[in-house]
Amino acid sequence: MTLDFLKEKLQDRIEKGNFRTLGGNAGLVDFVSNDYLGLSQNETLAARISERMQREGSVPNGGTGSRLLSGNHRFYEAVEQYLQDVFKAESILVFNSGYAANQALVSAVAEKGDTILYDQLSHVCLKEGAWLSRAETVSFLHNDLDDLEAKIKRAKGRVFVLTETVFSMDGDMAPLAELVEVCEKYEAYLIVDEAHSTGVSGINGSGLLVQENLHDRIFARVYTFGKGMGVHGACVAGAKVLVDYLVNFGRPFIYTTSLPPHSVLAIEESFRYLGQHLVLQDELQSRINLFRNLWPKSLSHTPIQPVMIGSNKRAREISLSLQEAGLDVRPILSPTVQRGTERLRISLHVHNTEAEIVRLTDLLSELV
């Protein structure tokens, strides 16, 4: 058996300067993770999760099976009921990851003869869900309401519109109120991924849609817990009939072993902790404001701060220089982003000190 076809593809990546490898940068200042509120390393939260597990008594170490078989532990029902209040939703369904939740949702609700319109900068899991659905899939220009409306007018069947509240590479936000109005005008079904606003925005970490009081006008919302909430998993929020539908037709839900009970309990405890420490959101905003004041080129009002470079090679070089200076900043290369938009993706956190942010912006001024 020859593996040359694999080697050739990898060699092509090496030659283009976008070959990926696994590795870590222990000891460097974190400007790369999605742990915006520092909850993944919060010792008090860790102790609360451990104490809660001890109180609950003996539970399985693993999920043991699909939730439709042996994996529907009582913790699931407790956290889903709790999250209904957080996200102001009629019903909640927990998934193993945001990727699985988006893929299951989009691939299940749209069918052949329908049309899916997705923002061209949407995460790949939304796009893959669209491709798996057998519906016609068309992208619309990023945050361009005119382009969206023109394509809705030409669409066939039921129309589903996919977007995000905060986009992961540019840190910009969707025009949510205007998107809702366009979708309501044409009776399109709006699906919004709140991955990078979960925890960071809204009372109790409920995200931007609840914060802007738009949640009741959205067909389906997806929330991720592995970023701002510092744990793991995700959920779909929507009508009870939508959740029942996903339990019956969402393949990544039906055929996946459930999260272990410890992970499910950690989701609930993380939200309870944040609800009692919402000052973390204010602390994060202060870091964002400081960075923007020191780096006037910033166009983002979120923890995600892209610094545009425009070349794979140069982005790698600047990233390496920053790492050698003790700052963990990673490059985002094409084809992950469009050629010519290669950049450094800087993530800000509550655990970044003022001195660290000043040092980062000083070095950027020298290197970029």
Average pLDDT of the residues in 257-277? 97
Identify the sign of the CA torsion 39, 43, 48, 52: positive
Which residues of the chain does CATH 3.40.640.10 include? Answer: 59-276
pLDDT band at 305 (very low <50, low <70, confident <90, very high): very high
Catalytic residue among 88, 196, 232, 262: 196
pLDDT band at 87 (very low <50, low <70, confident <90, very high): very high
Radius of gyration of the chain (CA): 21
The reported pLDDT for the residue numbered 26 is 79
Identify the sign of the CA torsion 141, 143, 149, 151: positive
pLDDT band at 109 (very low <50, low <70, confident <90, very high): very high
- Type of residue at 182: V
Catalytic residue among 73, 88, 215, 227: 227
8 Å CB contact between 155 and 184: no
Catalytic residue among 164, 194, 268, 356: 164
pLDDT band at 15 (very low <50, low <70, confident <90, very high): confident
Res 125 pLDDT > 80: yes
The reported pLDDT for the residue numbered 274 is 98
Res 7 pLDDT > 90: yes
Rounded-to-integer distance, Cα 280 and Cα 203, Å: 12
Least Cα distance to 236 among 327, 48, 107 occurs for 107
- Is residue 84 packed enough to be buried (19+ CB in 10 Å), middle (13-18) or exposed (0-12)? middle
CATH number of 25-40+278-367: 3.90.1150.10
Average pLDDT, the chain: 96
Catalytic residue among 73, 88, 123, 349: 123
Average pLDDT of the residues in 141-163? 98
Res 346 pLDDT > 90: yes
Res 200 pLDDT > 80: yes
* Neighbour count for residue 176 (Cβ, 10 Å): 19
Rounded-to-integer distance, Cα 44 and Cα 50, Å: 10
* Residue range 233-244, pLDDT digits in tens: 999 999 999 999
Examine the residue annotation and report whether 164 is marked as an active-site residue of this protein. Answer: yes
Higher pLDDT, 25 or 217: 217
Res 25 pLDDT > 80: no
Average pLDDT of the residues in 340-347? 96
Higher pLDDT, 229 or 20: 229
- Strands 327-328 and 304-308, by their bridges, are unpaired
The reported pLDDT for the residue numbered 23 is 75
Res 3 pLDDT > 80: yes
The reported pLDDT for the residue numbered 128 is 95
Write down the architecture of domain 59-276 according to CATH.
Answer: 3-Layer(aba) Sandwich (3.40)
Identify the sign of the CA torsion 265, 65, 108, 230: positive
Which residues of the chain does CATH 3.90.1150.10 include? Answer: 25-40+278-367
Rounded-to-integer distance, Cα 163 and Cα 140, Å: 10
Average pLDDT of the residues in 346-356? 98
Higher pLDDT, 16 or 225: 225
Q: Collapsing DSSP states into helix, strand and coil, what is residue 296?
A: coil
Backbone angles phi, psi at 137, to 5 degrees: -120, 130
Examine the residue annotation and report whether 96 is marked as an active-site residue of this protein. Answer: no
Examine the residue annotation and report whether 168 is marked as an active-site residue of this protein. Answer: yes
The reported pLDDT for the residue numbered 21 is 85
The reported pLDDT for the residue numbered 68 is 96
Catalytic residue among 168, 197, 204, 300: 168
Find the Cα–Cα–Cα–Cα dihedral 94, 258, 37, 275, rounded to 10°: 50
Residue whose structure tokens are 């042996």: 70
Catalytic residue among 30, 193, 269, 356: 193
How much is the pTM? Answer: 0.95
Examine the residue annotation and report whether 123 is marked as an active-site residue of this protein. Answer: yes
- Is residue 24 packed enough to be buried (19+ CB in 10 Å), middle (13-18) or exposed (0-12)? exposed
List, in order, residues 6 or more apart from 151 with CB less than 8 Å away. Answer: 117, 138, 140
What single string gives the DSSP state of each residue in 140-164? Answer: E-TT-HHHHHHHHHH--SSEEEEEE
Average pLDDT of the residues in 178-194? 98
Examine the residue annotation and report whether 227 is marked as an active-site residue of this protein. Answer: yes
The reported pLDDT for the residue numbered 19 is 86
